[in-house]
Structure 1
């Protein structure tokens, strides 16, 4: 056993060494200068070919000002909200530091300082490495700052270096960015709004930051900002920094900040490309937004300049041809979002995000949420049916030749034989766009003509959880899918982005291999790979059986050749795709692909005041806009340019899959419904197709064998291949073109419990 003298000596030696270590460390650290925080560099973005796209941040948006130029209300707003004991404390929160150090030692997330002094030190500390060494050094600097600088100097430094969002560092830049005035002229109410931003500009900027986080919508951010604004004013009043009169005046109305403004070089599609790449970097590294905006990064993207230009040109060309907002009110507020992804890779080669920051459009329509996809969802239902079968197929996948009732206004049967009901307990009926009596038709024909009733019943028979799982495997994010897995889920109530829809269809194009979409291949600082950007190029993984994907592709080829997507035939090469239009005509989509590219195009109208979707009935002078119309024209125009000079690779052959499992209750033998072509396709809408009297036994078109790739010359559905289609180049849908709504007749557009996008 060691003697007490030895133990005491060791203890005294340890304490002495610790004191010396602390003393030396304290002496060696220097007090930061707020001017050092202004040292910044550009962020430079590069195209996929390595050529420079744009350099952003040509000088940090910051101007230091003296404390005398910072309103008392601004000073007290941050003190009341962030650090009430600022003028009494030592500037360091020992328990907060210990928690941060312990958390880092365990490998957890780092934590910021809890006092204004510590935040000031963090703001001016240019090295952003999250290490224990840095944390200890930061602690010693904070202690030294607290003893060497007075509180006014610390507060001045804090307000000159804090990040307020939109690239604005410091209160002067924030005042100009958000209110177009100097800091000295800010009102107490405006000061409270700016103080709220210090909690996190991504979530408290009323303009929204949905490109950085889908939850940071303008509506959600405005709500968060106004609530914290009111709370800060209340705290200032409680702390006696606002008189009763000042408080009542300040809280009388929320002072809405100015909208975003375009910065130099951030025009056209460049702004959306930069936002997409920035969002990807922040999501796949530990770089904070404030650190990123200080600059010094080189970001190498997947975007191809020629394809980006081609996509923008396609949108502009079709807009000019079909829309006239100056003379037609219903053409106002129409927007497009589009994305093009490389199958079996995930690289985003092009996107269209909107009219550009310079025109006041700051939301990236290619990566937005909230626009229902309608019938472009149906391929996921078909894929789920081929993989899982239905509740009465004994687990065996079913064939696309299975027949379901395609008539309009049908009751939807639950697996137990009962029918779905509305909220008022009345019977729920699923509608099509047209009342045409299709009778029992194959799923292939139902996809071709985008008929709702077969897919709603099929979705129920397969199980909506299976449909959801297949969509997720294909690349759709769970948070963009409808929570309610009611019958309408099968026909497109979900709201994935254009990027995710292009990526999910790329899974079909790649014979079932899915790769997450990505926009950045490398991030460098001073020419060296940034260690915190660790996301490698996604590795394709098998999301579904190759033959299931190939069968979906085979069916979707028929949509273009004989169905609602015939406007895409002018591409002149092998392609597959699906149209989609939603309830009340609030959005229209076309998603299609070749082996080289998968591209989605969304069209919608949005109220600029509340960002709610508006009906497109009457837009472009049409009763309704269909996915097979304007979106398909944009898609085709782009794909012609994007694939110019590329080989037509076709698609892998699909082999016979599953078994023919007709809908429960289908007559046996199934009567045929033969559609006779009423006229040769022309530039005028086709009249309603005639219907022959069902024969008591299957006709040849019902019984011919589907030779995958040559589906009985298009007649394996019990009808001709031209019945009810729009015809080659006819931009106007015929009465049986079921890609759109024609008002409120798609899906359940009658206001019942399952109302939603369906087309």
Structure 2
């Protein structure tokens, strides 16, 4: 018996030794694992907390214009900018011991296991806020063991490298609240149209319940479910001593007013700047080096040049003028001529039906709106407002000596007499334009247009003077803006500045503008363009601005243009330049009389409305110019005996030296003989050429 007992004792001792060794081995393994995890967390360092954030576009008025978020609204706000109500409600329902554990709540895990065993299914979660944040920040929401292991590693890295407030801040900024809203700030705006720092207890207790089931607990979709969840959260706050029962009851019965319906209504009425936005995005990616990934994830604050009030007035002018039942299209651009800032843009009549941007993408024949570039080149080559040439039906023989070109004036009206440059542009005489084009050289118009920013290819042909090479609306408006600002270089600008979500400057539009054309000639070209609104320049036909004179109350410079398929009007004051194109997408001819008048009327109504209440500004002549009252039909200095009188401008020394006594009769005066000799030489060349 004793031998048996001894044998049992030996076996028990061996078993104890084995268990002890195993226990020691397990302890060592656990220690090694813990140390390994600790070392991993330290070596790996703090994980990045960067998450995609919504890019916000602002108008020049400082109002939110649009947000780009790929369906996910995200805004990062510091913890101190979040209401205590939402912080307490979130901790109460999600992780009440958050500030006491190290990322894993062992007590909660044990309770969840017991509850799941009792129910024979998974009925209670045990994830802490740190675990949820790790999952939201780095991982997919699948339920594999690999994902759970990775989540644990990320949780450890977060806890080892960040303090609790930083983790809680990250959680509140990344949790999904439904309806595309990620983070408490986005949720506050989506549901209540307010900032997270302003949430009441009632609102906070409602929001805190949504992440458990963003659809099931959405108060916009299932209000009963949401209210039941709100009651649970308020009771938890009472049990945890955060609020009194009286406060909970009051918060529960307080009516909540949700912003989504109001936002939908506001969005329906919101100014449609879709065409402007498409152009702004194009400039961001193609010119400023801002990638689409940055736009959709970096939380940029993008301040645009769009003036909402000006945009509204442009659309009102379009809707007032154009027949809503017609499928004729339009494009419109308004700019600040001093900076190139695009204040308003219309790329078509309905972005939803056709997102093609006719203001920036379409190329159309500009017609006579090309003539100011021609006459700028002519002024640089010695022409003046008094330069006269014959207006009559003409067939031109081209350089090859065989080919011919026979342009015509509108309705085949001709003066059949000499007319001055001042009158030629005001009446839009095509014969005068083609003669000028061929006289100074076809390359001169191409060079001038290019120097003013026209980017499309231009053919060196006689008909270019009449606008037969297609151009873009925005290029033409920008070029006219250069004349308006006195010859300084500008380019269409949609973005004023870009900032990070933290306020650091990423980009700012340059302010310095260099002189690219002679400011004296720019003013002379501008003055020529005021002629379309001057009745004194009426001749064999009326000035082209006559149909819209009744709408205008201030001084403008401008030029209209027509082709069988295109109608244009571009004009400006020192403060604002704008241009309108009207036509059919497929090149269908504009045949209806009222449609031919759309561009001019739309431009006139817009300019008057946009400038209403603003000081009237005149175009100021720079030094080096003199003004002379002339007879616009002969170009001579006007006298009391002249039938007409018009104020013209000249480079000093090039002003006329003959006085008008009657139509077609002049009296020579001895003024500046040397200059006169030079001027006579130029006119002799002109006369001999024709």
Q: TM-score, normalised by structure 1?
A: 0.49
The answer on whether the counterparts of 1:554 and 1:654 sit within 8 Å (CA) in structure 2 is: no
2:555 aligned with 1:574, yes or no?
A: yes
Number of the residue aligned with 2:681: none
Number of the residue aligned with 1:539: 512
Partner-residue secondary structure (3-state), 2:471: coil
Number of the residue aligned with 1:553: 526
The answer on whether the counterparts of 2:377 and 2:448 sit within 8 Å (CA) in structure 1 is: yes
Number of the residue aligned with 2:336: 342
2:475 aligned with 1:500, yes or no?
A: yes
The structural deviation recorded for 1:324 is 5.8
How far apart, CA to CA, are the structure 2 residues paired with 1:265 and 1:59?
A: 18
How far apart, CA to CA, are the structure 1 residues paired with 2:54 and 2:432?
A: 55
How far apart, CA to CA, are the structure 1 residues paired with 2:644 and 2:489?
A: 36
Q: Specify the structure having the higher radius of gyration (Cα).
A: 2
2:424 aligned with 1:400, yes or no?
A: no
Number of the residue aligned with 1:465: 443
- After TM superposition, the structure 1 = structure 2 runs for residues 556-635 of structure 1, keeping only pairs within 5 Å, are 556-562=529-535, 563-569=543-549, 570-582=551-563, 585-606=564-585, 612-618=586-592, 620=594, 625-626=595-596, 629-635=597-603
The answer on whether the counterparts of 1:376 and 1:590 sit within 8 Å (CA) in structure 2 is: yes
How far apart, CA to CA, are the structure 2 residues paired with 1:568 and 1:295?
A: 48
Number of the residue aligned with 2:166: none
The structural deviation recorded for 1:719 is 8.0
The answer on whether the counterparts of 1:311 and 1:350 sit within 8 Å (CA) in structure 2 is: yes
The answer on whether the counterparts of 2:405 and 2:462 sit within 8 Å (CA) in structure 1 is: no
2:445 aligned with 1:449, yes or no?
A: no
The structural deviation recorded for 1:420 is 6.5
Cα-to-partner distance string for 1:420-478 (whole Å, 9 max, x where unaligned): 61xxxxx321222222231221122111111111111211211222212222222322x
The structural deviation recorded for 1:571 is 1.8
The answer on whether the counterparts of 1:412 and 1:420 sit within 8 Å (CA) in structure 2 is: no
How far apart, CA to CA, are the structure 2 residues paired with 1:465 and 1:600?
A: 26
The structural deviation recorded for 1:374 is 0.8
Kindly tell me: are residues 55 and 707 of structure 1, through their superposed partners in 2, closer, same or farther at Cα, counting changes over 3 Å? closer
Number of the residue aligned with 2:90: none
How far apart, CA to CA, are the structure 1 residues paired with 2:335 and 2:560?
A: 18
The structural deviation recorded for 1:335 is 0.9
Which shows bigger deviation, 428-437 or 269-278? 428-437
The structural deviation recorded for 1:341 is 0.9
Number of the residue aligned with 2:247: none
2:258 aligned with 1:284, yes or no?
A: no
The answer on whether the counterparts of 1:513 and 1:540 sit within 8 Å (CA) in structure 2 is: yes
Number of the residue aligned with 1:474: 452
Partner-residue secondary structure (3-state), 2:649: coil
Cα-to-partner distance string for 1:119-158 (whole Å, 9 max, x where unaligned): xxxxx999xxxxxxxxxxxxxxxxxxxxxxxxxxxxxxxx
The answer on whether the counterparts of 2:397 and 2:405 sit within 8 Å (CA) in structure 1 is: no
The structural deviation recorded for 1:510 is 1.3
Partner-residue secondary structure (3-state), 2:491: coil
Kindly tell me: are residues 310 and 707 of structure 1, through their superposed partners in 2, closer, same or farther at Cα, counting changes over 3 Å? closer
Q: 2:395 aligns with which of 406, 411, 434?
A: 411
Number of the residue aligned with 1:638: 606
How far apart, CA to CA, are the structure 1 residues paired with 2:53 and 2:360?
A: 28
How far apart, CA to CA, are the structure 1 residues paired with 2:496 and 2:517?
A: 26
Query: Structure 2: any 5+ residue segments left out of the alignment?
Result: 1-38, 74-136, 140-266, 536-542, 627-631, 665-690
2:411 aligned with 1:434, yes or no?
A: yes
Cα-to-partner distance string for 1:169-198 (whole Å, 9 max, x where unaligned): xxxxxxxxxxxxxxxxxxxxxxxxxxxxxx
- Which is bigger in relative contact order (C-alpha 8 A, separation at least 6)? 1
Number of the residue aligned with 2:68: 56
Cα-to-partner distance string for 1:707-728 (whole Å, 9 max, x where unaligned): 439x99xx99x989xxxxxxxx
Kindly tell me: are residues 703 and 594 of structure 1, through their superposed partners in 2, closer, same or farther at Cα, counting changes over 3 Å? closer
Kindly tell me: are residues 287 and 434 of structure 1, through their superposed partners in 2, closer, same or farther at Cα, counting changes over 3 Å? same
The answer on whether the counterparts of 1:404 and 1:442 sit within 8 Å (CA) in structure 2 is: yes
Number of the residue aligned with 1:734: none
- After TM superposition, the structure 1 = structure 2 runs for residues 24-43 of structure 1, keeping only pairs within 5 Å, are 40-43=52-55
- After TM superposition, the structure 1 = structure 2 runs for residues 603-752 of structure 1, keeping only pairs within 5 Å, are 603-606=582-585, 612-618=586-592, 620=594, 625-626=595-596, 629-653=597-621, 707-708=648-649
How many residues are treated as equivalent by the alignment?
Answer: 414
CA root-mean-square deviation? 4.2
Kindly tell me: are residues 266 and 466 of structure 1, through their superposed partners in 2, closer, same or farther at Cα, counting changes over 3 Å? farther
Partner-residue secondary structure (3-state), 1:564: coil
The answer on whether the counterparts of 1:378 and 1:490 sit within 8 Å (CA) in structure 2 is: yes
The structural deviation recorded for 1:419 is 5.0
How far apart, CA to CA, are the structure 2 residues paired with 1:705 and 1:376?
A: 23
Partner-residue secondary structure (3-state), 1:430: coil
Kindly tell me: are residues 324 and 346 of structure 1, through their superposed partners in 2, closer, same or farther at Cα, counting changes over 3 Å? closer
Larger helix proportion of the pair: 2
The answer on whether the counterparts of 1:41 and 1:59 sit within 8 Å (CA) in structure 2 is: no
Number of the residue aligned with 2:347: 353
The structural deviation recorded for 1:576 is 0.9
How far apart, CA to CA, are the structure 1 residues paired with 2:617 and 2:646?
A: 26
Cα-to-partner distance string for 1:498-526 (whole Å, 9 max, x where unaligned): 22222211111112223112110111221
Number of the residue aligned with 1:517: 492
How far apart, CA to CA, are the structure 1 residues paired with 2:478 and 2:613?
A: 23
Number of the residue aligned with 1:148: none
Number of the residue aligned with 2:215: none
Number of the residue aligned with 2:116: none
The answer on whether the counterparts of 2:391 and 2:431 sit within 8 Å (CA) in structure 1 is: yes
The answer on whether the counterparts of 2:365 and 2:469 sit within 8 Å (CA) in structure 1 is: yes
Kindly tell me: are residues 295 and 271 of structure 1, through their superposed partners in 2, closer, same or farther at Cα, counting changes over 3 Å? farther
Kindly tell me: are residues 507 and 492 of structure 1, through their superposed partners in 2, closer, same or farther at Cα, counting changes over 3 Å? same
How far apart, CA to CA, are the structure 1 residues paired with 2:276 and 2:633?
A: 51
Kindly tell me: are residues 702 and 547 of structure 1, through their superposed partners in 2, closer, same or farther at Cα, counting changes over 3 Å? farther
How far apart, CA to CA, are the structure 2 residues paired with 1:548 and 1:266?
A: 45
Number of the residue aligned with 1:247: none
Query: Structure 1: any 5+ residue segments left out of the alignment?
Result: 1-23, 62-123, 127-263, 326-331, 390-396, 422-426, 607-611, 659-670, 675-698, 721-759
How far apart, CA to CA, are the structure 2 residues paired with 1:705 and 1:53?
A: 47
The answer on whether the counterparts of 1:592 and 1:598 sit within 8 Å (CA) in structure 2 is: yes
Partner-residue secondary structure (3-state), 1:542: coil
The answer on whether the counterparts of 2:420 and 2:633 sit within 8 Å (CA) in structure 1 is: no
Cα-to-partner distance string for 1:534-557 (whole Å, 9 max, x where unaligned): x63253221221111111111111
Cα-to-partner distance string for 1:570-615 (whole Å, 9 max, x where unaligned): 2200111111001xx2110100100100110111111xxxxx3211
- After TM superposition, the structure 1 = structure 2 runs for residues 133-282 of structure 1, keeping only pairs within 5 Å, are 269-282=272-285
2:298 aligned with 1:305, yes or no?
A: no
2:480 aligned with 1:487, yes or no?
A: no
2:370 aligned with 1:377, yes or no?
A: yes
How far apart, CA to CA, are the structure 1 residues paired with 2:641 and 2:443?
A: 37
Kindly tell me: are residues 304 and 463 of structure 1, through their superposed partners in 2, closer, same or farther at Cα, counting changes over 3 Å? same
The answer on whether the counterparts of 1:432 and 1:452 sit within 8 Å (CA) in structure 2 is: yes
